[in-house]
């Protein structure tokens, strides 16, 4: 079956927009529908794809399950930032990006968080080491220094070791392939969050290449657990080997 051409898709979208406008919807209902967990979406998918009712029910159940899990993760993040940073942090679920299959770990970075704050919080609970005597932020590019300007959230694979799917790919390789990777700030926060849940650490056998970040000179930071400490180093953006892997981000 041939794929629909763009003009026909736009024509359908225009007709749907006119139809919805004729229903005199409230703003409240529009806001509800805009959330990825609203039952409208699996029902729409089922209707537009002409899927039978049994499959549609399964789709609805999956969305409900994902929504409940997402809400639980949001609550866990709010508790985490309260306990470790004394932040009265409330997150709007509507801002959560659509998750993809296999990406089940939500990482939220609140407005005002910084690499220095995150690293200092880690040091309060376990041994940490960085490849500089200076403040860690001072070696990063300007856009990654200081407090973040707005709250962000992205999905990652929920695993201890960095993604084997991008094994052997350098930061430059990933950039060329337009694959978004974890930032240094996200990786540091992930370390502390995982420790708070398990009292264990990430990347005990491999190394997370923080391909979403850059140092001021163009090198790329990476992080891992080495013997008895959380370590942050950096290397050339073309560096690649079997244990140096990014964590792919969705969002």
Domain membership of residue 159 (yes or no) is yes
Domain membership of residue 124 (yes or no) is yes
Same domain, 89 and 200: no
Minimum mean pLDDT range among 2-11, 72-81, 233-242: 2-11
d(CA 208, CA 203): 7
Residue 63 has pLDDT above 60, yes or no: no
Tell me how many degrees the CA angle 216-218-220 measures, rounded to the nearest 5. 100
Q: Of 48, 72, 96, which residue sits at a domain end?
A: 96
pTM: 0.76
Maximum C-alpha span of the chain: 64
The number of helix segments (H) and strand segments (E) in the chain equals: 7, 7
CB-based contacts of 130, cutoff 8 Å, min separation 6: 119, 136, 231, 232, 233
* pLDDT-derived band at 46, boundaries 50, 70, 90: low
Same domain, 66 and 119: no
Phi, psi of 162 (to 5 degrees): -60, 165
Domain membership of residue 207 (yes or no) is yes
Q: Of 48, 64, 96, which residue sits at a domain end?
A: 96
Domain membership of residue 102 (yes or no) is no
d(CA 63, CA 251): 17
Supply 69's token pair: 């899990």
Same domain, 9 and 127: no
Q: Of 42, 63, 96, which residue sits at a domain end?
A: 96
Same domain, 244 and 124: yes
Domain membership of residue 219 (yes or no) is yes
Domain membership of residue 67 (yes or no) is yes
The pLDDT of residue 109: 97
DSSP, collapsed to helix, strand or coil, labels residue 79 as helix
Give the chain's domain count: 2
Same domain, 22 and 80: yes
Domain membership of residue 143 (yes or no) is yes
Same domain, 184 and 162: yes
pLDDT in tens, 194-233: 999 999 999 999 999 999 999 999 999 999 999 999 999 9
d(CA 95, CA 36): 9
First and final C-alpha spacing in the chain: 31
Same domain, 91 and 132: no
Side by side, which strands form the sheet with 229-235?
128-130, 229-235, 220-226, 207-209, 244-245
Domain boundaries, position 207: 109-251
Same domain, 85 and 114: no
d(CA 190, CA 202): 8
**How many CB atoms sit inside 10 A of residue 162's CB?**
30
Instruction: Give percent of the chain with pLDDT exceeding 70.
Output: 89
Residue count of the chain: 251
Same domain, 174 and 56: no
Distances in Å between the Cα of 95 and the Cα atoms of 27, 98, 176, 193 are 17, 9, 28, 20
Same domain, 132 and 36: no
pLDDT in tens, 73-98: 999 999 999 999 999 988 887 688 88
Minimum mean pLDDT range among 25-29, 156-160, 164-168, 188-192: 25-29
Same domain, 167 and 250: yes
Q: Which of 168, 175, 185, 187 is nearest to 247 (CA)?
A: 187
Same domain, 119 and 198: yes
Domain membership of residue 65 (yes or no) is yes
Q: Which of 192, 198, 201, 194 is nearest to 225 (CA)?
A: 201
């Amino acid at each position: 079956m041939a794929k629909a051409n763009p003009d026909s898709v736009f024509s359908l979208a225009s007709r749907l927009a006119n139809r919805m406008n004729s229903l005199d919807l409230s703003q409240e209902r529009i806001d509800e529908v805009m959330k990825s967990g609203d039952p409208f979406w699996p029902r729409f998918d089922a209707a537009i794809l002409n899927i039978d009712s049994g499959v549609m029910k399964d789709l609805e159940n999956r969305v409900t399950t994902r929504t409940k899990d997402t809400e639980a993760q949001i609550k866990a993040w709010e508790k985490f930032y309260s306990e470790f940073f004394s932040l009265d942090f409330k997150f709007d679920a509507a801002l959560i990006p659509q998750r993809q299959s296999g990406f089940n770990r939500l990482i939220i970075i609140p407005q005002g968080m910084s690499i220095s704050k995150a690293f200092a919080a880690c040091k309060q609970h376990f041994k940490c080491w960085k490849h500089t005597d200076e403040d860690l932020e001072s070696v990063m590019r300007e856009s990654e220094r200081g407090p973040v300007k707005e709250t962000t959230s992205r999905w990652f694979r929920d695993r201890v070791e960095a993604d084997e799917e991008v094994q052997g790919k350098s930061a430059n390789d990933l950039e060329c392939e337009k694959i978004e990777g974890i930032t240094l700030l996200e990786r540091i926060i992930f370390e502390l969050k995982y420790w708070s849940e398990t009292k264990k650490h990430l990347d005990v056998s491999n190394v997370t290449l923080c391909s979403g970040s850059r140092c001021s000179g163009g090198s790329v930071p990476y992080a891992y657990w080495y013997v008895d400490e959380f370590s942050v180093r950096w290397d050339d953006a073309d560096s690649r080997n079997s244990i140096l892997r990014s964590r792919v981000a969705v969002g």
